[in-house]
Amino acid sequence: MEAVRSILVVRLSSIGDIILTTPVVRWLRVRWPEAKIDFCTRAPFLPLLAGSPRLSGVYSPESLPASSSYDLVVDLQNNRRSHALLGRVGAKKTVRYHKGNWKKWILVHWKIDLYGEAPSVVERYGSSLLGLGIKVDDSGCELWPSASDTSLADGILPGEGKVLAVCFGARHFTKRWPPRRFAEVILGILNAVPSLRVVLLGGEDDAAHAEEIMGLLPAGVAGSVRNLAGACSLMETGALLQRSDAVLTNDTGLMHMASAFQKRLFVLFGSSSLAFGFLPYRSTFELFEVSGLGCRPCSHIGRERCPKGHFRCMLDIPPERVSDRIIAFLGGAQR
């Protein structure tokens, strides 16, 4: 295509989806090193990209100048919201990510997997750029905590001792391993690795579950666990993940934030399916899921209750197996 001097990338939500766009931004920057590259996302997610050295500007839909005009617009949201936003933006060329929602519907309702080798969403984003001369690299996602974010994390977790971050939350019930199971795993790990420090990370919506986990821990180990759910900003949480040695996580945005730092991830999938492409991208992980359940996946985003009433996709994941794998990684003695 003709010379590209300005680019707008659009992905309005949410945490994980935005983190998964960072390789695309890197590819665009390599392809057009002198271009102005802006990103538009919803206001709560602006901090995820504010520190990016690859972007010229980061805007919310409300702050994006109405008279904006770009040589190339990359719409990685591709829904009514992004279409309405781009209706007031000039663009010489627009490319859009095609989500293939019909494949999701068939997998959820008919349990027929048409995804094949389940390419990552990052690779699916990249497919929207075919014909633009983009070169895909072997690197993963990126995140840029500020110096103040890093300083706060270092103050909370000083010294050289090992740290396990536990990201126990998720927006939807069927993506959340029960708090009791997290408490069982934390207790088992601390019995084997008593010098370990554990941090509970999440937003304000996760605070009640964090309190439940803390309440289930015996007093003898509770002192090794720090509950930071709802106490840190998004990027402060990112800096704490960067400071950690391993991360135990549900299928949630914090999982993708941790993957940006190449942390060893221990991932719990309930109603989630790897076919949807949301596994950590180019980051080492171990996946815990219950294979062979005829009801998985029951949704492509998660549900507020188990439609079958048994919640086996989460309850059948053995806590001992999870704790043993984390202990083995951290170098402690297994049971």
Contacts of 92 (CB under 8 A, 6+ apart): 2, 70, 71, 72
Residue 334 has pLDDT above 60, yes or no: no
Q: Using one digit for the tens of pLDDT, what is the confidence trace for 145-164? A: 999 999 999 999 999 899 99
Q: For 6-127, CATH number? A: 3.40.50.2000
pLDDT per residue as tens digits for the range 167-186? 999 999 999 999 999 999 99
Examine the pLDDT at 333 and tell me if it is beyond 70: no
Is pLDDT above 50 for 335? no
**Higher pLDDT residue, 287 or 334?**
287
- Kindly tell me if the per-residue pLDDT of 332 is higher than 80: no
Q: Tell whether omega for the bond before 146 is within 30 degrees of 0, i.e. cis.
A: no
Q: Give me the pLDDT at residue 116, please.
A: 85
CATH topology of domain 147-330: Rossmann fold (3.40.50)
pLDDT exceeds 90 at position 267: yes
Reply yes or no on whether the pLDDT at 281 is more than 50: yes
- Lowest-confidence range among 51-55, 108-112, 147-151, 207-211? 108-112
Burial class of residue 200 (count of CB atoms within 10 Å of its CB; 0-12, 13-18, 19+): buried
Q: Determine the Cα–Cα distance for residues 11 and 79; give it in Å rounded to an integer.
A: 10
Say what the pLDDT of residue 230 is: 97
pLDDT value at residue 101 = 86
Tell me where in the chain the CATH 3.40.50.2000 domain(s) lie: 6-127, 147-330
Contact between 262 and 140 (Cβ < 8 Å): yes
Question: At residue 293, does pLDDT exceed 80?
Answer: yes
Round the CA-based radius of gyration of the chain to a whole number and report it: 21
Average pLDDT, stretch 36-52?
98
Buried b / exposed e along 244-262 (16+ C-beta atoms within 10 A): bebbbbbbbbbbbbbbbbe
pLDDT above 80 (res 56): yes
Q: Which residues are registered as beta bridge partners of 90?
A: 69
Q: What CA–CA distance (Å, rounded) separates 128 from 123?
A: 9
pLDDT at 305: 97
The confidence band for 1, taking pLDDT boundaries of 50, 70 and 90, is: low
User: For all residues of the chain together, what is the average pLDDT?
Assistant: 96
Asked if the model's pLDDT at residue 246 lies above 70, the reply is yes
d(CA 267, CA 170): 12
Look at residue 280 in the predicted model and tell me its pLDDT: 98
Residues in CB range of 267: below 8 A, 6 or more apart: 249, 250, 251, 255, 279, 280, 285, 286, 287, 288
Instruction: Work out the average pLDDT over 293-318.
Output: 97
3-state secondary structure labels for all residues of the chain: CCCCCEEEEECCCCHHHHHCCHHHHHHHHHHCCCCEEEEECCHHHCHHHHCCCCCCEEECCCCCCCCCEEEEEEECCCCHHHHHHHCCCEEEEEEECCCCHHHHHHHHHHCCCCCCCCCCHHHHHHHCCCCCCCCCCCCCCCCCCCHHHHHHHHHHCCCCCCEEEEECCCCCHHHCCCHHHHHHHHHHHHHHCCCCEEEECCCHHHHHHHHHHHHHCCHHHHCCEEECCCCCCHHHHHHHHHHCCEEEEECCHHHHHHHCCCCEEEEECCCCCHHHCCCCCCCCEEEECCCCCCCCCCCCCCCCCCCCCCCHHHHCCCHHHHHHHHHHHHCCCCC
CA distance linking residue 184 with residue 320, whole number of Å: 8
